[in-house]
Structure 1
Amino acid sequence: MAAIALLTGGLASPAAAATSKATVKGVVTLDGKPVSFARVQLYRDMGGDADDPEYARVKTANTDSKGRYTISGVSLVKLSEESAGYAIVVSDRSGNIVRTHRFVRPEAGKVVTRNVWAQRAGIITGKVSRSDGGDPRALEVTIATEEQEATRDNYFVPEFATAEDATVKADGTFTLGGVAPRTYNALIVRGAPYASQCYSPSTNALADCDDSVAQRISVGAGERRQIAPLTANKMLPPATTVTGQVTDTSGKALKGINVSISGSGASEVGVTRSSGRFTVREVLPSGSYQVRYDDPDGVWASQYLGGGPDKSVRQPIAIVSGDPVRSVDTRLKSISNAKIATKTGQGTAKVAFRITRKASGSSPSGTLKLSYGDVSKTVTVTKGRATVTLTGLRKGVRKLVADYSGTGSTAGFSKTVRVTVK
């Protein structure tokens, strides 16, 4: 009996383990006929953000000659409330069907059937070359929908996106399969050192992208569209290199400061290294630009080149495309923190300040002005402390304004102090 019990126990464990796995199966068809050797991938939403789901591939299978697929041995995990669950994504290597996704609910120990009726896709083929005779594999061919225009980075769920770009081979030929039948804003050719250009069906040539009806291209279900040979010939503008260094007022290098360069219809951001130096190398149209420095950690006060935290005092830089701009340097002051205590009386308000530097915790000097309308008083800040008393205030809730001057190494501030005057 012991032997039987032991044998029974040994058989039960694998059986129990098997029931903890899930299986998803189904048939993929196109126009009622099976699709053989299609790729079927099972994805799971990680559940981090309901508005921006992130899917991870769990398993992959291929359909057989009868269009059947089976994904077995799926280990299920507990999903968060935000998770969209599981989905299967179907595509084929021939490019004859549109990539399709279907949501599915696998169940532990059960076989769930999820059939897929695929949509017939269009295929675009052609050949591209470079006007300089260079390797065409540096180019990319892309189609853009009305929603995306000349970009391909904003799909809600990238894993489910239909085909939109093609790799160019060494001989310049490309095949863009799996194209959903519809009208697209443009067929785009791009890739450094060439700027984006759009195919014009009326001229069978590339031109500047202008979002016009003349550049729209329609692809039908099952259509195999051959594009005339195209040549990329519009070079990108030369890149401009902007360099500089960010330090504190003592000259100590500051790492991780964001340096924003904006103006003339362009905006770029660089980040300082451990040396405090930064390099921004981008295509920037010629013109006047302003430079702003921001600390994402909130220790050093933001400011513009040549000025303070607002645009009223700043030093613009002049950029000529392709020409380097050097020594865009600045020194940042520490942010100042203030602890504030108030005491009110008949027509009076007494406000005490304790000010510290966020970078070091030390207590700065300076001056502090407290005001309400025409009533104001300025006092000296000594070792970070200042007390100001205003008189002649009307009864009720009053919003006083405290303006701290700051020092050569500490940024000032302007704060509202709310008091109730008796």
Structure 2
Amino acid sequence: MDAAMGRAWRATRHLLVGAGLSLACYLVFALLLVGLVGTLLVIGAGLLPETVQTVRSFASFERRRVGARTGEGVPEAYPPLTGPLAERLRHATTDPATYRDLRWVLAQLLYGLTLCCLAALLWLPAVIVDGIWCGVLGRRPVLLPVFDAIADLSCSWSRGLLKPPPGAGLAQRVELLTATRAGAVAAHGAELRRIERDLHDGAQARLVALSMRIGLAKRAYDRDPEAARQLLDDAQDQAEQALAELRHVVRGIHPPVLTDRGLDGAVRALAASSGLSVEVSAQGVVDGPRAPAAVEAAAYFVVAEALTNAVKHSGASRAEVELVRTPMLLRVLVRDHGRGGADESAGSGLLGVRRRVAALDGKVSLASPAGGPTEIEVELPCAW
């Protein structure tokens, strides 16, 4: 009896919150009408997107309530209401989810209050009837399960009204891939420009100087062998410097240390040369199959950028790097114990990290509160 009473009370509480949400929907519906009229009259066009955003917030709250009660969440798919006013109006008025939310608002006005009133009317006979039955037949509640059924009915209606329209997930995925592709193209262009700049200003300049030294040595060989020998020595130095520049460019494309030592060995080499006290831990990276070359290169770049930022900006003296390989992804976590406050917009290279990871359909999360620590976590998909 106590368990049944508890379930009945939780169901009634769910219905009471739904009734309060219904009352709030009356206000939202009125705001929608005002926003629509204002948009038609132009003077209040900015009110409609904000009201649609409010409707989305109410709908999201109902999705969370349904998920909390049933244990199964209700997905949502909304395009962002950002940008200039004209663009926000277009998204607000053309998004199919907006009209599904409006349909839910209208329905919630009815069934939210109606089901709550029904539950309230049933409480007195439920207590009386269950009390009689409990006295005659022992602990056997009769009407209390009805409240669960009413609350479940409310959840079922809300789920049916609020689930995303067909194709919404695909459209959202296409939009995400479009943005990802744009970021990947921008990152690729920046990488090409960097390689071209490094070749032009570094290796190419040294190779031109090398050619000039060899030409001068050839002309001076017969008349001044000592001068020719000195020029050849200088040419050898130029050749070694050019090779160093080429190695630097190659490391920027795909670090050879990854090929030679694998991701674990390459990251440990980075840690040893970073100037920090870095603790590296790896799970599933050494023993399991290697990740694709592009994934390993992205992970190496993330660690290199994070440790470089820690040295330049955080004031940290120590850091940790964690590499975790699972059947579906490669996870990289870099944590430094510096002053924190990392800002992606300050030109710290974090935007490049995001673009490189996004090109592989990965995820980046940054946590850097003032006072530290700074944590950069990256997840790169790569099945076995």
More helix by share: 2
TM-score range with shorter-chain normalisation?
under 0.3
Highest RCO, 1 vs 2 (Cα 8 Å, sep ≥ 6): 2
Q: Normalised by the size of structure 1, how large is the TM-score?
A: 0.14
More strand by share: 1
Q: Normalised by the size of structure 2, how large is the TM-score?
A: 0.15
